[in-house]
Amino acid sequence: MAALVGRGVRDMLKRADFMTVPRRQRHKKKWAATEPKFPATRLALQNFDMAYSVQFGDLWPSIRVSLLSEQKYGALVNNFAARDRVSAELEQLSARDFVNEAIFHGEPEPESGQTAAPPPASWACSPNLRCFTFARGDVSRFPPARLGSLGVMDYYLMDAASLLPVLALGLQPGDTVLDLCAAPGGKTLALLQTGCCHNLAANDLSTSRAGRLQKVLHSYVPQDVRDRNRVRVTSWDGRKWGELEGDIYDRVLVDVPCTTDRHSLHEEENNIFQRSRKKERQMLPMLQVQLLAAGLLATKPGGRVVYSTCSLSHLQNEYVVQGTIELLANQYDIKVHVEDLTHFRKLFMDTFSFFPSCQVGELVIPNLMANFGPMYFCKMCRMT
C-alpha cells in the first residue's frame, strides 16, 4: 500500500514531523553515564506548544491548560445489565443522559397542523445508546463501575467524546460492521450496545491490546449475545483488510493509532514521544492513510466509514482524510464523499466544545468547563 501513496500524501508527510525539537532545546549526549532524563511527557508538551500555538492561535492557551487538567468522563450504560435501574442511579448523582437529551431537543417541531419531515438519513445517530455526564463546570466523578445483578458490569467509564464517532456512524439494524482498530474496547462495546450489529469484526494488530478488548467484552456482554452478534476478534494487519475482505461492510469505524495527545502529556508508559519511538511517530500519518484506505476498501459502495483520532493535529486529521480520498480516486477510481456533520455538532454542542474551523470533519477540543477530548471524527460515504 505504501508504494501506492501519491504525491499529495507524500507532501503531507514532509510536513508531518512537527515533533522535532529545536536545536537550542536539545541536550547533547554526555560522556558520563549521568545523562539527565528528559521525560517523554515534557517532550510532548514542547512539541504541542510549537505546533498547536500555530494551528489554534489564541485558543491554544485554553486548550493547553485543559489538557493538563483532570479529564471528565462519561458513563456508558450497559444495555445488557439492568439498564433502567442503572440509569436511575446515575440520575440520582445529578448526571444526565447527554445522548437522548440532545436527540430529543434536536428533533424539529412540526408547524401547526403539519407532520414534521424526517431528517436526512445522514443525520441519523446510532440508536439505543445512553451515556451520562455531569453538567458543564461540574467536576464530580463517577464511582467505579460494579458487577450488576445480571452478571455483567453496570456501565463503562470513558471519555464521553469517544462515543461521538460511534453515534456519527449511524448504525441501522442488520448492519455488518467492522471496527478496524478496536482496542481497548470502549467503542466496540458501544457498537454492540446499539443492537444493530448482524456481524461485528473487532480487530487490533496488537495481541496484548486485543486481549484487553476480549476482557472488556467478557465483562460487559453475555456469552449468548456475543455469539448471537457473531462477534469476531482478530489481530490482523489492518492495512491489508481491503485485500482480505473487500466490499463487505455496511459500516466501518477506523479509530487509528495517533499521538494520543492527552495520554502523552500525563503518562510516561507507552508514550509515543519517547525518543526510541521518533521514527514511529513520524510515520503516523502514513499509517493512518493506509488504515483509512483499507477501511474504505472494505466498505460496500453506499456504506459509511467514520475516521477518528484523539489528536488535535490537522496532520493526523483533515490531511489524512483528504490524502486518502485522493489516493483512492487516483489508484482505485473510487469516489468518496465527506458528509457534513454540522447538524451533528449542533446536537451536542451543549455537552462538548467544538473547534469551529475544521476543513472536514469535527473536532472536540478540551475546555475547562467541558474537559472532554480531544476527539476528531469525520464521516464518509463510499460512492463507488
**Nearest Cα to 294, choosing from 345, 246, 350, 347?**
246
How far is Cα 254 from Cα 250, in angstroms, rounded to an integer? 13
Instruction: Determine whether 310 is an active site residue.
Output: yes
Q: 215: domain CATH number?
A: 3.40.50.150
Query: Is there a domain that residue 100 lies in?
Result: no
The predicted model scores a pTM of: 0.89
Query: Is there a domain that residue 337 lies in?
Result: yes
Report, as an integer, the average pLDDT of 246-268: 97
* Grid cell at residue 331: 489508484
Query: Is there a domain that residue 301 lies in?
Result: yes
Return the minimum-mean-pLDDT range out of 111-115, 155-159, 161-165: 111-115
Query: Is there a domain that residue 113 lies in?
Result: no
- CA 232 vs CA 198, 291, 310: distances in Å: 12, 19, 25
SS3 at position 167: helix
Query: Is there a domain that residue 172 lies in?
Result: yes
Q: Which domain holds residue 345?
A: 42-57+160-382
- CA 368 vs CA 47, 102, 220, 364: distances in Å: 22, 21, 31, 13
Local confidence band at 38 (pLDDT 50, 70, 90 cut-offs): confident
SS3 at position 276: helix
Report, as an integer, the average pLDDT of 47-68: 98
Query: Is there a domain that residue 104 lies in?
Result: no
> For 277-308, what is each residue's pLDDT tens digit?
999 999 999 999 999 999 999 999 999 999 99
Return the minimum-mean-pLDDT range out of 95-109, 211-225, 309-323, 332-346: 95-109
Cα 86–90–91 angle (5° rounding)? 115
Report, as an integer, the average pLDDT of 251-255: 98
Sequence-separated (6 or more) residues with CB below 8 Å from residue 71: 159, 262, 366, 371, 372
Count structural domains, the chain: 1
CB count within 10 Å of CB 59 equals 17
**Nearest Cα to 292, choosing from 199, 181, 204?**
181
Query: Is there a domain that residue 36 lies in?
Result: no
Report, as an integer, the average pLDDT of 333-358: 96
Query: Is there a domain that residue 129 lies in?
Result: no
Considering the candidates 125, 197, 258, 310, report the single residue annotated as catalytic: 310
**Nearest Cα to 344, choosing from 370, 378, 319, 315?**
378
Report, as an integer, the average pLDDT of 62-83: 97
Local confidence band at 116 (pLDDT 50, 70, 90 cut-offs): low
Mean pLDDT of the chain: 90
Contact 313, 374 (CB under 8 A): no
Local confidence band at 19 (pLDDT 50, 70, 90 cut-offs): very low
Label residue 103 exposed, middle or buried (CB < 10 Å: 0-12, 13-18, 19+).
middle
For residue 233, pLDDT beyond 70: yes
Residues of each annotated binding site for S-adenosyl-L-methionine: 181-187, 204, 237, 255
* Grid cell at residue 320: 489524512
Sequence-separated (6 or more) residues with CB below 8 Å from residue 360: 318, 321, 322, 338, 378
Local confidence band at 4 (pLDDT 50, 70, 90 cut-offs): very low
For residue 96, pLDDT beyond 50: yes
How far is Cα 251 from Cα 295, in angstroms, rounded to an integer? 9
Tell me the three-class secondary structure of 2-16, residue by residue.
Answer: HHHCCHHHHHHHHCC
Contact 56, 63 (CB under 8 A): yes
* Grid cell at residue 199: 456481524
How far is Cα 60 from Cα 53, in angstroms, rounded to an integer? 5
Contact 179, 205 (CB under 8 A): no
Longest Cα pair distance anywhere in the chain, in angstroms? 84
Residues of each annotated binding site: 181-187, 204, 237, 255
Report, as an integer, the average pLDDT of 132-156: 95
Local confidence band at 115 (pLDDT 50, 70, 90 cut-offs): low
